[in-house]
Amino acid sequence: MVEILKSFEQVAGRFSPVVLVLPGLVMAALGLVTWLAGMCRRRLVLGLVGALTGGLVSFFISQQNLIVGVLAAGGLAAFAAGAPRLFVAVVLAWLGVVVAFGVLAKGQLFQQQGLLLSGQTLSQAETQFTMQESLDAVQAYVLDVRDRIGAIARQQTPGDLAILGGVGAGLLIVGLLLARLAGALTCSAVGSGLVFAGLILLLIYKGSTPVARMEQQGAFFGLVLLGMGAVGTLEQLLLCPPPARAREGSREKSRSRREESKRDWRSR
């Protein structure tokens, strides 16, 4: 798995600049907004995140089918903006399953293996890639990552699969019951991930090797990511106001309590 990412890092230096710079800037900017203010404009931010991630992933998984990418982006954006509470719970459960899967399959994910055929073929090119060749290369690596993760998932024991299912179901319930905390945590985690992904693409464009550095100092970057998630969660809980319905409900409760206290005082 790591070898695929390192191979992508080496080959990406020949990509068309637009393929790296434009997604990198969009991810970094949207990640900052989601990390620090995702709960302040929850429907808008979640809709944009859903459109970006769903559109990009489906575009490359579907062999660069633009119609599929647009439909997936629009569908996820509508789902995120129309049902933000359910969307946040689903994303939180998915993130928990991804983390649990990474812990259970750590040895297989970081196992040193030879480069896949697509990575070898692409790395032998010496000329600068055109836009279409760059998109084809990205698609090849996306499919390699998907196949590798699928192969590792099929090797998991029934006990591991039960753990993953329990983590996903538990976090889904938590996300539905504790909507505000789950929303802040999810926005902070997704925003931190988008910032990291965007900066990696921009650093690769500048000729750096961020994936190799992260492999050597994985614990440090993991702590940085956890710190960003904690800061973003606390910041949004403190500064982002609760939804209008929650404020109206709290006001109605306070009014009813005051009315009850007045009635009790008059009845004395």
pLDDT digit string, tens, across residues 80-108: 888 999 999 999 999 999 989 888 887 67
**pLDDT for position 267:** 53
Average pLDDT on 32-41 reads 88
Q: What does pLDDT average to over the chain?
A: 82
258 occurs within a structural domain: no
- Give pLDDT, residue 190: 92
The segment with the largest mean pLDDT, out of 2-16, 122-136, 141-155, 236-250, is 141-155
Output the pTM of the full model: 0.79
Looking at residue 199, its pLDDT comes to 92
Decide if 265 is inside a domain. Answer: no
152 is a domain residue: yes
pLDDT, average across residues 229-251: 74
Q: How far apart are CA 211 and CA 196, in angstroms?
A: 11
Give the number of other CB atoms < 10 A from CB of residue 32.
16
| Domain carrying residue 143 | 2-242
User: Taking 50 as the threshold, does the pLDDT of residue 192 lie above it?
Assistant: yes
- The answer to the question of residue 20 being in a domain is yes
- Residue 229 to residue 209: CA distance in whole angstroms: 24
* Counted domains in the chain: 1
> Would you say residue 247 lies in a domain?
no
User: Tell me, what's the pLDDT at 195?
Assistant: 93
Given this model, what pLDDT does residue 64 score? 80
Whether 260 is covered by a domain: the verdict is no
DSSP string over the chain: -HHHHHHHHHHGGGS-HHHHHHHHHHHHHHHHHHHHHTTTTHHHHHHHHHHHHHHHHHHHHTTS-HHHHHHHHHHHHHHHHH-HHHHHHHHHHHHHHHHHHHHHTHHHHT---PPPHHHHHHHT--SPP-HHHHHHHHHHHHHHHHHHHHHHHHTS-HHHHHHHHHHHHHHHHHHHHSHHHHHHHHHHHHHHHHHHHHHHHHHHHTT--HHHHHHHTHHHHHHHHHHHHHHHHHHHHHHSPPPHHHHHHHHHHHHHHHHHHHHHHHH-
Query: Which pLDDT does position 124 carry in this prediction?
Result: 46
Q: Is residue 82 part of a domain?
A: yes
Residue 187 has pLDDT above 80, yes or no: yes
**Is 80 exceeded by the pLDDT of residue 260?**
no
Residue 250 is assigned to a structural domain of this protein: no
Rounded to 10 deg, the angle between the 158-177 and 84-104 helix axes is 150
